[in-house]
């Protein structure tokens, strides 16, 4: 999922898909291209992708980050991008690719689920509104585009169980777009605030410690039902983390986080 705010729709490659548009596609192990798309990728991971992958692998978030991602802050950007590290072999295969296919398949990233449809959200700076956009963009080698199974974007998302990723990534997109202007000031993008924001989005097990093992809950009132949910599951903690970033970095008020007086 891309978060598009500066490009115009007609500058984006691929065939735009409106809600009622259809595309033909079927991927299966019998195709000569099977797993070719799992090599040499710039595969962006969003916070919910990292949550699902670290759960699938049974490891904590900081170990996942150390072992499996490159964190890249591009020139002119104020929040880093997180890319899955490819294996160091000739073909730069995805580290989760095995001879039978994807070893993390139930928890594969959003981009892998919706491929070859790229989904994003277009923000309108003038109105503050946003529009979900989708593009059919199979690479030439992808033979699935010549199969005759027909989909709409919604049917494809259902089939690939991508709705939860889509919903949470839209919420992340709302946070992410706030980073278009430099929020760090003199402390810069390596400072304490930036490290806090990255932890709340990507390093969930350490964020959990920050919430539950520090004075946080003495300093902020959080509804007890939400506290319970966060104790039980990573997903509630992650979406709380998005609220916390907005509050901590920009002072945006949240019904979920009330400073105690």
Q: Of all helices (H) and strands (E), which one includes residue 68?
A: helix 61-68
Residues 72/81, Cβ–Cβ less than 8 Å: yes
Q: Which of residues 158-217 bind ligand SF4 (CB under 6 A)?
A: none
Number of other residues whose CB lies within 10 A of the CB of residue 79: 21
Residue 27 CB, nearest approach to ligand SF4 (Å): 3
Among 1, 82, 112, 121, contact with ligand SF4 (rule: CB under 6 A): 112
Among 83, 143, 170, 227, contact with ligand SF4 (rule: CB under 6 A): 143
Give the interface segment with ligand SF4, choosing from 137-145, 179-187, 200-208, 215-223 (CB under 6 A): 137-145
Pairing of strands 117-123, 2-4: parallel
Sequence-separated (6 or more) residues with CB below 8 Å from residue 107: 52, 53, 55, 56
Rounded Cα distance between 30 and 144, Å, is 10
Rounded Cα distance between 8 and 122, Å, is 9
CA neighbours within 13 Å on the CB side: how many for 1?
30
Give the interface segment with ligand SF4, choosing from 15-23, 138-146, 159-167, 250-258 (CB under 6 A): 138-146
Residue 39 CB, nearest approach to ligand SF4 (Å): 8
Is the CB of 38 or the CB of 200 nearer to ligand SF4? 38
Q: Which of residues 58-97 bind ligand SF4 (CB under 6 A)?
A: 94, 96-97
| Cα distances (Å, whole numbers) of residue 10 to 72, 111, 131 | 27, 21, 15
Among 142, 170, 178, 236, contact with ligand SF4 (rule: CB under 6 A): 142
Give the interface segment with ligand SF4, choosing from 56-64, 139-147, 215-223, 248-256 (CB under 6 A): 139-147
Is the CB of 102 or the CB of 178 nearer to ligand SF4? 102
Q: Which of residues 19-38 bind ligand SF4 (CB under 6 A)?
A: 27, 31, 33-38
Give the interface segment with ligand SF4, choosing from 109-117, 185-193, 225-233, 248-256 (CB under 6 A): 109-117
Name the region of 68 (left: φ>0; alpha: ψ -120 to 50; beta: rest): alpha
Among 45, 51, 69, 104, contact with ligand SF4 (rule: CB under 6 A): 104
Pairing of strands 97-98, 101-102: antiparallel
3-state secondary structure of 170: helix
Binding site for ligand SF4 (CB under 6 A): 27, 31, 33-38, 94, 96-97, 102, 104, 108-109, 112, 115, 142-144
């Amino acid at each position: 999922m891309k978060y598009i705010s500066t490009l115009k729709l007609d500058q984006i490659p691929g065939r735009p898909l409106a809600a009622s548009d259809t595309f033909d596609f079927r991927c299966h192990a019998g195709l000569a291209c099977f797993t070719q798309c799992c090599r040499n990728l710039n595969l962006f991971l969003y916070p919910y992708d990292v949550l699902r992958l670290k759960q699938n692998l049974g490891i904590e978030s900081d170990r996942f980050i150390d072992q499996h991602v490159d964190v890249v802050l591009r020139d002119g950007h104020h929040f880093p991008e997180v890319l899955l590290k490819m294996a160091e072999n000739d073909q730069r295969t995805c580290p989760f690719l095995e001879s039978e296919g994807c070893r993390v398949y139930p928890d594969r990233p959003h981009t892998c689920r919706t491929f070859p449809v790229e989904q994003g959200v277009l923000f309108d700076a003038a109105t503050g509104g946003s529009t979900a956009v989708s593009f059919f963009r199979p690479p030439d080698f992808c033979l699935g585009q010549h199969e005759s199974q027909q989909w709409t974007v919604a049917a494809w998302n259902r089939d690939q169980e991508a709705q939860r990723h889509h919903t949470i990534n839209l919420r992340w997109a709302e946070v992410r777009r706030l980073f278009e202007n430099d929020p760090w000031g003199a402390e810069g993008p390596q400072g304490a605030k930036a490290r806090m924001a990255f932890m709340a989005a990507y390093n969930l097990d350490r964020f959990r410690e920050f919430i539950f093992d520090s004075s946080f809950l003495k300093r902020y009132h959080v509804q007890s039902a939400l506290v319970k949910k966060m104790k039980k599951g990573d997903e509630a903690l992650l979406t709380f983390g998005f609220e916390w970033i907005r509050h901590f970095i920009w002072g945006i008020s949240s019904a979920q986080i009330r400073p105690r007086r």
